[in-house]
Amino acid sequence: MAEDRRSSEPDQGYLRAIRARLEFLLSSGLRPETGTLLRRMRGAPLEELLAVRPDLTTSSESIANAATSEAFEPHPLDYHWTFCPETVDRVSATLMARAEPVVVVGAPTIADRLKERGKQFTFIDRNPLFRPDLTLDLVAEEAPQQRRLESSIPRTFFLDPPWYPDYVAAWLNFVALHCKPVQTIFMSLWPELTRPSAEAERKTVIDWLSSCGDIVIHPDALTYGVPTFERLTYEARQLAVPTPWRTGDLIELRCSEEFLPPRKMERSWTTWQRYVIGRRQLAFKLAVDRRPPEVEAVGFPSGHFHLQSVSRRDPIRREANLLTSNNIAARVAGLSYFLSAIELFYGQGLSMASLSHDQQNALVLMRDIGCIETAEHTEFMSWQHRD
């Protein structure tokens, strides 16, 4: 879902908009303290707020965080910001009241609550760890199980896509092409100060939806917790982030016209090999590479492997071909040895001694930078997705 930005070249218009919002909030009587201000800053991240007003008092205030009891760490490639308890309560109550069939996409905590309350619904997600009814990668051109979503009854959808227009377009295309008829769509929408391009991107999405019916936007209706990978990025910069601070708008579309797919957004997609080992999630960017196994940091001082941003646009994230749920980014050589070592040692339970020298070396390198522990694990799973 959510994502902020990191850039070495600040956008002056963006900073002026943040400053204007901040001055408005302070003039209304709010304390000059980050924990109070961030939740009202329309998505502006902590580092940008401090760039405008470095004299603000920072706060690590912690209130009820994400509504989750997950047995694994969220991974940044899933854009997995989890709703806080009050948001789960409010959204699930809205969906429980719908008489028509409900489809939940990309919101596992909402699905868990509906299941607890006995609601009949369909849950779709690309990550099999969430145990969805349908495991579908909605950016893929083909969805092999999409025929199971055909219906003669109009349905209500709740979507929590990653906060970028290309993802939103892919998800709405899937609904328009394979899930009609559509009665109502509830969807998360990023606030206008999330990043420099956020306001224009918002308008694009709103224009898409407005062509299909009447829309209502509920500002700041959604509150998200701070996942482990985001907390670690702030810790790497010695910043105390209040939890939770991120809010999103809820857009409600009541379809009065045929729901047509939005304009397709062309972009290149990368395939990632995904693993869960115990609580840890690892992702390797797939490529043909038979060099001896090596690991190096990407754009950091020697020996420092932790990301300092959760932004998809971060150049370090683009260069890394290993990303983990505990915020490690690295560039590995000899990818085939890393993948085969993981599959044999964790997937098949072979001993370290039965692996080749290069496979053993790959596991040791991952252990040394903090990705894994070469010990018994509680769970192993592998899959692929595109990002």
pLDDT in tens, 210-252: 988 899 999 999 999 988 888 888 887 777 777 788 999 999 9
- Residues 69, 115, single domain; the answer is yes
- Residues 225, 327, single domain; the answer is no
Report pLDDT for 68: 46
Report pLDDT for 219: 96
Number of domains in the chain: 2
- Residues 214, 294, single domain; the answer is no
- Residues 67, 201, single domain; the answer is yes
For residue 360, pLDDT beyond 80 = yes
Per residue in 20-59, pLDDT (tens digit) is 999 999 999 988 888 888 889 999 988 888 888 888 876 5
- Residues 262, 293, single domain; the answer is no
- Residues 276, 366, single domain; the answer is yes
- Residues 118, 230, single domain; the answer is yes
Final residue in a domain of this structure, among 246, 267, 288: 267
- Residues 263, 158, single domain; the answer is yes
- Residues 27, 119, single domain; the answer is yes
Per residue in 118-165, pLDDT (tens digit) is 999 999 998 888 888 888 877 765 555 555 676 778 789 999 999 999
Three-state SS letters, the chain: CCCCCCCCCCCHHHHHHHHHHHHHHHHCCCCCEHHHHHHHCCCCCHHHHHHHCCCCECCCCECCCCCCCCCCCCCHHHCCCCECHHHHHHHHHHHHCCCCCEEEECCHHHHHHHHHCCCCEEEEECCHHHCCCEECCCCCCCCCCHHHHCCCCCEEEEECCCCCHHHHHHHHHHHHHHCCCEEEEEEEECCCCCCCCHHHHHHHHHHHHHCCEEEEEEEEEEEECCCHHHHHHHHHCCCCCCECCEEEEEEEEEECCCCCCCCCCCCCCCEEEEEEECCEEEEEECCCCCCCCEEECCCCCCCCCECCCCCCCCHHHHHCCEEECCCEEEEEECHHHHHHHHHHHHHCCCCHHHCCHHHHHHHHHHHHCCCCCCCCCCCEEEEEEEC
Which residue range forms the structural domain that includes residue 35? 1-267
Report pLDDT for 12: 86
Q: Taking the model in full, what pTM does it have?
A: 0.87
Domain CATH for 245? 3.40.50.150
- Residues 52, 1, single domain; the answer is yes
Final residue in a domain of this structure, among 244, 267, 290: 267
Final residue in a domain of this structure, among 249, 267, 285: 267
- Residues 279, 319, single domain; the answer is yes
For residue 8, pLDDT beyond 80 = no
